[in-house]
Amino acid sequence: MDDIPLSLLFLALFFLLLASAFFSGAETGLMSLNRYRLRHLAKRLRAARIALRLLEQPSRLLGGILLGNNFVNILAATLATLIGQRLYPKGELGVLIATVSLTTLMIIFSEVTPKTLAALKPERFTFPAVYLLEPLLKLFYPIVWLLNHVTRLVLKLLGLKEDQHSHFDLSTEELRTVVNEAATLIPQRHQQMLLNILDLEKVTVDDIMVPRNEIVGVDLEKNWEHILKTLSESQHTKLPVYKGDINHIVGMLHTRRILKLVEAREEFNQDSLRSLVREPYFVPQGTPLHTQLMNFQRMRLRIAMVVDEYGDILGLVTLEDILEEIVGEFTTNPADSSSDIESQEDGTYLVDGAINVRELNRVLEWHLPTNGPKTLNGLIIEYLEHIPDPGTSLRLGNYPMDVIQTTQNAVKTVRIDPRLAMRPQAESTEIE
């Protein structure tokens, strides 16, 4: 080695430092790549396909990179020692200087700098590197295979098992985090819709159904004049038809079929009305909304009756109700978007106590609890533990409200002021 020119040794050391920087940056860059973006880029970029293929075997990839990195680092240390001995042939000063100098250079130029660049620009650093890294891994394969085999044997002795497959499946909460962090790339409206879709599995038909006491339907036991009045005054296109009680439902009536009957100039009476009724569709309480949405799509239906374990009808749920959970209300005025909210001249709203809590939250952008009672009336009574008198004022969390009208067994009307709800309030629920 003494006959090798010193300049050649320095040049070799320089290239070894570059090689060390290559392996260090390649390792950080590959591990920093966004797997989902990488799968997208793999459709049109060969480098992305190579990177994706390398990442499918992480143990082989890391083994090859570490083998190459350690090899060039050890070789660089040997060369630095020889250079130090050539420069300072007497004593151990040359070895000390070579060790300190090489350590400083490697930390700065072969570790920190390339790893930082690769972490900041993983695609720009990694995509050119994979063209060299892939043949090197094939070259090192026998040694890497032996090292990985020994590593698995050691892990087995320690009671650990290596998973050979790399999984990047995301949970619902992780997907929610991804959507929230992509706020600059996704319009806010679309972002909220995606979050609402993720929430469908947490919400059931019980949360959005029309309760049975509010269901508008046709009672066949009423006189014909009463039935005609119900049909003419109804704002709904589909009505349940029953005998005396909603639990004795006969089927569902689409009012459009009545127009076809009239246009055909056929006689319209109870018998012809019965002929227009279609079989009802029942769903059990507690059915998640995402499941019910798929059921509606599969059965080509838009309305269903919610029943409990005894078969009694609890309420009615429609496809439109589920879609509103995803896209939100179609108007900006709360009074227009819900028949249970009536706008007042002073800026307040009179709210029907039977309104669904989720609907109230959606319309007014509130955050009343939804894991308990489903209606505002139930929420108030659960807290007060009795039917309040008219004029009672209370604050549920950050939301003040006044009870305006009650019946013997329910809160009928509540006045709320959204402007007051925006002010900072105490976290505890209080009654005035």
The answer to whether residue 192 sits within a structural domain is no
The answer to whether residue 164 sits within a structural domain is no
Statement to judge: residues 27 and 73 lie in one domain:
yes
Helix axes of 58-87 and 141-157: crossing angle, nearest 10 degrees = 110
| pLDDT value at residue 271 | 83
Between the alpha carbon of residue 267 and those of residues 166, 218, 234, 270, 394, the distances in Å are 69, 19, 21, 10, 56
The answer to whether residue 166 sits within a structural domain is no
Question: What is the domain-level CATH number for residue 394?
Answer: 3.30.465.10
| pLDDT value at residue 6 | 78
Distance from the first to the final alpha carbon of the chain: 93
The answer to whether residue 218 sits within a structural domain is yes
The answer to whether residue 315 sits within a structural domain is yes
> What radius of gyration, in Å, describes the C-alpha atoms of the chain?
36
What DSSP designation does 201 have?
T
Statement to judge: residues 354 and 316 lie in one domain:
no
Question: What is the domain-level CATH number for residue 304?
Answer: 3.10.580.10
The answer to whether residue 266 sits within a structural domain is yes
Statement to judge: residues 47 and 150 lie in one domain:
yes
Statement to judge: residues 86 and 147 lie in one domain:
yes
Statement to judge: residues 17 and 153 lie in one domain:
yes
Taking the model in full, what pTM does it have?
A: 0.58
Statement to judge: residues 299 and 340 lie in one domain:
no
Statement to judge: residues 133 and 238 lie in one domain:
no
Statement to judge: residues 22 and 153 lie in one domain:
yes
Sheet holding 218-219, edge to edge: 218-219, 238-243, 245-254
| Residue with the two structure tokens 């001995």 | 85
| pLDDT value at residue 197 | 85
Last residue of one domain, picked from the residues 296, 326, 356: 326
| pLDDT value at residue 275 | 86
Statement to judge: residues 322 and 338 lie in one domain:
no
Statement to judge: residues 26 and 79 lie in one domain:
yes
Last residue of one domain, picked from the residues 326, 356, 373: 326
The H or E element spanning position 416 is strand 411-416
| pLDDT value at residue 425 | 42
Statement to judge: residues 284 and 343 lie in one domain:
no
Mean pLDDT by 10 residues, the chain (432 residues): 74 91 90 84 89 85 88 89 79 78 88 90 89 88 85 81 57 76 75 82 87 89 88 86 92 84 69 88 93 93 93 92 79 57 85 86 81 87 88 84 89 86 45 42
The answer to whether residue 171 sits within a structural domain is no
Structure tokens at 111: 């570790």
The answer to whether residue 10 sits within a structural domain is yes
| pLDDT value at residue 141 | 85
Statement to judge: residues 382 and 321 lie in one domain:
no
Last residue of one domain, picked from the residues 303, 326, 349: 326
Cβ neighbours of residue 31 closer than 8 Å, sequence gap 6 or more: none
| pLDDT value at residue 176 | 78
Cα–Cα distance, 11 to 9 (Å, whole number): 5
Q: How many domains does the chain have?
A: 3
Cβ neighbours of residue 315 closer than 8 Å, sequence gap 6 or more: 205, 206, 209, 210, 211, 212, 215, 305, 306
Question: What are 244's strand-pairing partners?
Answer: none
Structure tokens at 70: 């350690």
Supply the range of the domain harboring residue 389.
Answer: 334-431
| pLDDT value at residue 427 | 38
